Amino acid sequence: MDRDPREDENQDADWIFAFDDPHSLPTDRLPGREEFDRYATPLLARRAGGAALPRTEEAPAPVAEGAASNASEPDAVTGAIEVVPGEDAWETAGESRTRSYARSGTTPNAEEEEIPLGGFQLPERFKELGIFDALRDVLALITLASALTTTLTTADTPVLDLIGRIAVGVALAALVAVHALRWFPEKPPLRAIRILRVAGMAPALAAAVTVLVADLALSLPVLFAPLPDGPPVGIGVGVSLLLLGAILGIEPRAHEGYVPQARARRIARTVLLGIGIAAAAALLLALVMIIGRLFTTGWPFSLMAFANTVVSALLLLVVIASALRRDRSWYVFSTAVTAGLAIAALADNTLGLQFAAPLSAATGYVYLPFLFAAFGLMISRSFVRSMPLSFRRTDWLVYTVRTFEFSALMHAAAVLWHLLASLAATAGAAPGGPVLHLVDAVVCVCFVVVSLFGRNALLSRPAVSARASGVVAALVLVVVGFLDVIVNSLATLSGAGLVTGGAALVLGIGAALMLTVPAPVRDEFGAPDISRMFADFRARDGGRVSLLDLVPDVTEETAERKFYPGS
């Protein structure tokens, strides 16, 4: 750290701010050629690793000094400068040379050609394959395959199960076929590939919708019946995964010659609005069922059904509203939350997660298919192209604030859930006893308070203490959420969910990482200025920044009396 950088003999002399610069060139006039040669000779002699622009094997013959000086002068008539052979050879050295793109002495920028990550580079045949299109196809493949291993329907419905399995098989075969037709032939039939993709995914989409409609149609006649043997169909997490895989895979990709236009973006928003309307209609039907079952099944069942409905409807409202309102920060955060739920739902049979439990229109609010369908549309090319996305340092602070806001909102709903569950537990209609639910309600209140504390600290405190307070709040969510998960898993054998501390655990980890990792890692010039980062964040969050605030104060400079040099 204390060593003089000028003592480094291996430093690159091609850098603009080279430390070995003897500063011998005149600054009051343009140097002559002899002066520049005397200046450059010691720099070139101290080069240890060879020239940054090495000569090729067929190096041009040296040019005489007089010829070089004459060639550098413009023609008296035309004003053209004669090309020096040596300089032309340097410009056309070809692929055997390397370049130095120094800018500030800290980090050189990238070259024209993309540098492969970790030395891995796709073959030339796959140069048109986009990373996000590949991720969409991989996620579609995983969700479609998982639909075969998770619960499709809870009742014994062999016809619906057979339809679902056939649809999954057709979709998987179509997904493999479109990639085989795209990458193996020399001239792939792009139009036929797009048609095959849509036609292959359509049966999976139709099968998922068929199960939803069948459950609704068979549930209406028994909407207020006790149903001791369970719902007539029952929608498992496999239906939601099947719907998500079909929506992700049905849209043609960029490497298949498809570019979403304005019409496709309008259709995506219209379909998303239709999903919201359908979810609202399903919510209304669930409320009617809950009220009717007060007189047939009893108040404990209706109380627990209402508690579950409130939490599910709130989550669905946050996700769909963020996309329809085109709020960038809420859109990114909601997409990340739903992606986490989709990944967790893949292992539903193993983990037994509460949010992915089978539901039916006859017993509760079926929200998960609408949530996954909205997620599939939100990450589609037609919708993403209409959303401006950014992941700069200030954006990570905005996403952290949204994390704390989401935590406070959802845990407030969890408090209501535990209060209603404590009442239902007195009649044996809720897992655990009343005391356990009251304790969990107090813990969820703590989660709300800590989340609001972290949010307000990021928005109002000084920069350094604001980030420290946000990290402390996130760690409190992690520690207390982990302990809450352990206690509930031992007391009620329940998995990690919103009401058992699992959401606090995950959200705390995410907030802590966003406050500590992206800022120094993503800044290519080193650790960021925390004070300026928070100032930019708060100015952006306020949304009302005057242009006058960006003009520097030059009052003292203009008031100072200055004298012309030499006067």
Which tens digit of pLDDT belongs to each residue from 363-408?
A: 889 999 999 999 999 998 888 877 777 777 677 888 899 999 999 9
The more confident residue out of 519 and 439 is 439
Residue 457 pLDDT more than 80?
yes
Q: What pLDDT is recorded for position 260?
A: 81
Mean pLDDT (whole number) for 295-317: 91
Q: What pLDDT is recorded for position 98?
A: 41
Residue 190 pLDDT more than 80?
yes
- Residue linked to tokens 């056939």: 166
Confidence of residue 257 (pLDDT cuts 50, 70, 90): confident
Distance (Å, whole) CA 56 – CA 313:
68
- Cβ count within 10 A of residue 294: 14
Residue 71 pLDDT more than 60?
no
Mean pLDDT (whole number) for 417-426: 92
Residue 89 pLDDT more than 50?
no
- Residue linked to tokens 């406070």: 408
**Which structure tokens are listed for 468?**
């420290």
CA dist 84 to 55, 60, 63, 89, Å?
16, 10, 8, 9
Q: What pLDDT is recorded for position 499?
A: 84
Q: Which residues contact 315 (CB under 8 A, 6 or more apart)?
A: 367, 371, 410
- Cβ count within 10 A of residue 300: 18
Q: Which residues contact 65 (CB under 8 A, 6 or more apart)?
A: none
Q: What pLDDT is recorded for position 278?
A: 94
Q: What pLDDT is recorded for position 315?
A: 93
Q: What pLDDT is recorded for position 64?
A: 45
Mean pLDDT (whole number) for 426-439: 87
Mean pLDDT (whole number) for 344-362: 77
- Residue linked to tokens 């996309």: 323
The more confident residue out of 563 and 162 is 162
Choose among 153, 179, 178: nearest CA to 165.
153
Judged by average pLDDT, the poorest of 100-104, 251-255, 366-370 is: 100-104
Residue 24 pLDDT more than 80?
no
Highest mean pLDDT among 42-46, 138-142, 346-350: 138-142
Report the percent of the chain where pLDDT is more than 70: 71
